[in-house]
Amino acid sequence: MPSEILSNIPTFALGVAFFLAAALYASVGHGGASGYLAVMGLYGMAPDEMKPIALTLNIAVSLVALVAFARAGHFQGHLFWPLAAASVPAAFIGGWLQSPEPIFKLILAAALIFGAWRLTFRQKIDENPLRKPDLIALLILGAVIGFLSGLIGIGGGIFLTPLLILFHWSSTKPAAAVSAAFIFANSCSGIIGFMAKGNTIPSLIWLVLPIVLTGAWLGSRWGSQRAPVPALQFSLAAVLVVAAAKFVIN
């Protein structure tokens, strides 16, 4: 199947799309799965191929982003560990389950719309006082996001980052650092659950992985030092909206 895909998709265009998705998402501490899913969805790839590719790329990109944000001093373990404790087993279950295609498309469309909203909606959260989160709330949030992440093949950052900010549990860059670690843990758990059923990762991954890692390195260095450029976030948000519409209509 990957060879058939490559025969119909200009390799250069595919590489550029993955590079931009990795760079932009890594700049805000995300792995980029919703961006990769958008690209693959627009090119007509099957959901059973999209999920493992997105999860694998998520692992690589989120790790690069985590290192960059942690080195900049933004990581907060008191937020990450409760979230991860609940999300990792839930992501494994979600990765093990096979979502029916119509449900997959609806969930994916919702995730992409949420990602677009995250990229365009800006709050001056750093100017507001932060609140200490309740442990039970963190565990519940981690479990729900972890399960959805494993089920649809994303790391959960598009859900977690805005919620940490909206609940006033974290300011912007620490939320990005926590999300990067959260995405890495969930994606590892999700791909293990996926492969536990005897599934394999499409060979297309070896073509795009070096491109995505390059974009992640550039984007994470940029994002951990300064805020992302709003114009680029709006551009990526538009791609996510178009992809979401495609999943709903088709």
Query: 128 to each of 131, 157, 159, 168, 170, how far by Cα in Å?
Result: 10, 22, 21, 8, 10
CA distance 38 to 18: 10
Q: Could you report the average pLDDT of every consecutive run of 10 residues in the chain (250 residues)?
A: 50 84 85 82 78 89 92 90 92 78 77 74 58 92 88 79 83 86 88 84 88 92 67 63 67
What is the amino acid identity at position 220?
A: S
Q: Is the distance from CB of 239 to CB of 35 less than 8 angstroms?
A: yes
CA distance 1 to 48: 11
Global pTM exceeds 0.75: yes
Cα dihedral value 211, 45, 238, 17, nearest 10: 20
Q: Which of 180, 78, 70 is nearest to 131 (CA)?
A: 78
Using DSSP's 3-state secondary structure scheme, residue 152 falls into: helix
pLDDT the model gives residue 1: 47
Say how many Å lie between the first and final Cα of the chain, rounded: 21
pLDDT the model gives residue 239: 60
What is the amino acid identity at position 20?
A: L
CA distance 95 to 87: 12
CA distance 81 to 19: 30
